Amino acid sequence: MAHLKNSGVIAKNGLLPAVEKLAKNASGINGLEFEVQSFGLDQRLDNSLEISIFRIIQELVTNIIKHAKATQGTIHITNHSDNLNIMVEDNGVGFNPKQLSKTKPGMGITSIDKRVESLDGKFTIESEISKGTTVIIDLPL
């Protein structure tokens, strides 16, 4: 899943169709169902930004498949004209974010954090054991 090549889909059709394709391909793996909800994505973003955002979402979906033991995942993408909000959530096993070290590679979180930081964005993880995980990313546009 982490090496799924969707750059062509992004370049041709945009971020949303690529994310929808990713969710469709991920649905059914380990009994997992993904849903994509979007608002305000009528206009295309810069191609390099769309690719970076897609790679972040792709890594989060991969984490859900590998670690969460979830049955449901949702990807929310909302364009607020001056910033883009991305929220990826699952109903999986959850974890204690305080025990997650950003210095050690783990669950792809380090690479996601670096990508978000390179885009001058904010990255927040909310998770609770047995209650699932929500990752919130805010990126300036």
User: Which strands sit side by side in the sheet containing 33-39, from one edge to the other?
Assistant: 33-39, 72-79, 83-90, 132-140, 122-128
Query: In this prediction, what percent of the chain has a pLDDT beyond 70?
Result: 90
Number of residues that this document lists for the chain: 141
User: What is the token pair recorded at 39?
Assistant: 């608002």
Does residue 51 have a pLDDT over 90? yes
Q: What is the mean pLDDT of residues 74-102?
A: 91
pLDDT for 138 beyond 50: yes
Query: Mind listing the domains of the chain with CATH numbers?
Result: 7-140 (3.30.565.10)
pLDDT at 2: 40
Separation in Å, CA 83 to CA 46, 70, 78, 80, 134: 13, 29, 9, 5, 19
pLDDT in tens, 104-134: 555 588 889 999 999 999 999 999 999 999 9
Report which of residues 101 and 52 the model is more confident about: 52
The full DSSP string for 23-65 is HHHHTTGGG-EEEEEEES--SPPPHHHHHHHHHHHHHHHHHII
